[in-house]
Amino acid sequence: MVILVVLALALLLLGFEMFLVLGVTSLAVKAIFFGTLPDIVIMQKVFGGINHATLLAIPFFILAAQLMGAGQIARNLINLAYALVGHTRGGMGHTAIAGSVAFGSVSGSAPATVAAMGAIVYPEMRKSGFGERFSLGLLVSSAESALLIPPSITLIVYGWMTGTSIAQLFAAGIAVGAVLALAFAIMVSIQARRDGIPAGSAPKWRERWMALRKAFWALGMPVIILGGIYSGIFTATEAAAVSVIYAMLVELIVYRELRPSDLVRITEEAAVSTSVVFVLLAMGSLISYFVTLAQVPGTISDFLTAVDAGPITFLIAVNVLFLVAGMFIDPNSALLILVPSLFPIAVGFGVDPVHFGMIVTLNICVGMITPPFGLDIFVAASTLRKPVISVVAGVWPFVVVNLLVLGIISYVPDISLFVPRLLY
């Protein structure tokens, strides 16, 4: 088994595409340990792994997000955030956080949020007096809220893998995302005082009203997604499909930002993005199958029982495992490889599946912004044309805060479960 881990790591470090790393390693596992298993199983797992109704939410949310990113909806949400908090001390920092939450609430993707927010907000943060490192760190870190705030693709994948209600995960994600955003807002306030950044003059109510009016149709999107799901009108997948129709109508007819030809280009891009996510799910499903056949979850569980570990020790181990994995692989791959082994043990220890989902997702948030391989660091460096080392230097204080939030969320389940309990 050690040889296979080494093989996977070698392929990963050589620069093989992640789906090849998972796929080739799975084939090697089958050839070495399960040679008698019919080959046909491989194709069944690859195909069956993605042929699920729950997963249909992902292509629809990806398409909706790309429509909104290319059109006016995302921009109007960011403008509204500025109108509401831009005048406070360190207002551009608060705008970056609120804008990331707003953009995350329509995109579900942290790298997309970093790319979109970075180009718009970074120059303004610098102008307002924030240093380069702090600005870069804040932009990269606050984008992680997209992994928690609905419609998070990470939460959909977790829900599909574990059979946990996606509506409940979305509800929990709102609370945990808010805690993370609040922690970053406190950091911004402290840094603004340290840098002597004054508060700006508050915009007139008329200006706020104008920003709200412009964002009216944009605000309809979270209302449809969340309102539709929690009022029982839509399932998460149906809300995703409706959000595509809504985004198309608003961008084409109301804002008139996109033309039908843009629609074709964006849809094609969304198709490729969908394929990129799903081929990972397909290969992840294959490797998960072999992980289960090899009784890895049982072995870990036996080990934890043997060393007399309780739920707290288990959660610490989970956090360490995900933090290390998150540094090397992207969130969906980390989920696909680790969750099948850890979830049954977590449930065995009495950890609520929704709470465990929040812990896993927060760990992935940290992994996405942690060197040496945190994806969002490279997206920020590439988008803003800054050295990776500057982004890494800026991110560290936020990693520490993220870990503190992770500690609180891990050991205070009520924060994660408060909103789901309220709604169900």
Of the pair 39, 308, the CB lying nearest another protein is at 39
Q: Which is nearer to another protein, 380 or 406 (CB)?
A: 380
Return the closest-CA partner of residue 355 out of 182, 158, 109, 160: 158
Number of neighbouring beta carbons within 10 Å of residue 129 = 16
CB closer to another protein, 44 vs 305: 44
- Give dist(CA 219, CA 231) in Å, integer: 17
Amino acid identity for residue 63 in this structure: L
Taking the least distance from each CB to another protein, the nearer of 198 and 227 is: 227
Burial (CB count within 10 angstroms: exposed 0-12, middle 13-18, buried 19+), residue 108: buried
For the bound state, the minimum distance from the C-beta of residue 272 to another protein, rounded and expressed in Å, comes to 5
To another protein, the closest distance from the beta carbon of 291 in angstroms equals 19
By beta-carbon proximity to another protein, the closer residue of 63 and 346 is 63
Task: Burial-class residue 213 by CB neighbours within 10 Å (0-12, 13-18, 19+).
Answer: exposed
The contacts of residue 245 (CB under 8 Å, 6+ apart) are: none
- Residue type for position 61: F
Question: Minimum distance between the CB of residue 366 and another protein, rounded to whole angstroms?
Answer: 17
Query: Which residue number, 6 or 20, has a Cβ lying nearer to another protein?
Result: 20
Min dist. Cβ of residue 332 to another protein (A): 8
- Output the smallest distance, CB 423 to another protein, in A: 21
Output 301 or 333, the one with its CB closest to another protein. 333
| CB of 9 or CB of 186, closer to another protein | 9
Query: Residue 186 corresponds to which amino acid?
Result: I
Nearer to another protein by Cβ, of 44 and 299: the residue is 44
Q: How far is the CB of 53 from another protein (least distance, A)?
A: 6
CB of 321 to another protein, least distance (A): 18
Closest CA to 284 of 327, 341, 236: 341
Tell me whether residue 31 or residue 412 sits nearer to another protein (CB atom).
31
The whole-angstrom separation of Cα 246 and Cα 221 is: 7
Residues that bind another protein (CB under 8 A): 12-20, 23-24, 27, 39-40, 42-44, 46-47, 50-53, 55-56, 59-60, 63, 111, 115, 234, 237-238, 241-242, 244-245, 264, 267-268, 270-276, 278-280, 282, 328-330, 333, 372-373, 375, 378-379, 382-383
What CA–CA distances, in Å, run from 318 to 30, 138, 302, 311?
27, 26, 15, 10
Q: Which backbone phi and psi does 151 adopt, to 5 degrees? A: -95, 80
What is the SS3 assignment for 309?
coil
Residue 408 CB, shortest distance to another protein, in Å, is 30
- Write out the DSSP string of 288-335: HHHHHHTTHHHHHHHHHHHTT--HHHHHHHHHHHHHHHHHHS-HHHHH
Q: How far is the CB of 252 from another protein (least distance, A)?
A: 14
Report the nearest approach of another protein to the CB of residue 360 (Å).
19
CB of 335 vs another protein, minimal distance in Å: 13
Long-range CB contacts (< 8 A, 24+ apart) of 273-278?
A: 273/62, 273/66, 274/58, 274/59, 274/62, 274/63, 277/58, 277/62, 277/153, 277/332, 278/50, 278/55, 278/58, 278/59
Structure-derived torsion over alpha carbons of residues 126, 132, 137, 139, reported in degrees to the nearest 10: 30
Alpha-carbon distance 68 to 150, whole Å?
15
Of 83 and 270, which has the nearer Cβ to another protein? 270
In contact, 279 and 320? CB cutoff 8 Å: no
Work out the angle at residue 55's Cα, subtended by the Cα atoms of residues 416 and 354, and round it to the nearest 5 degrees: 15
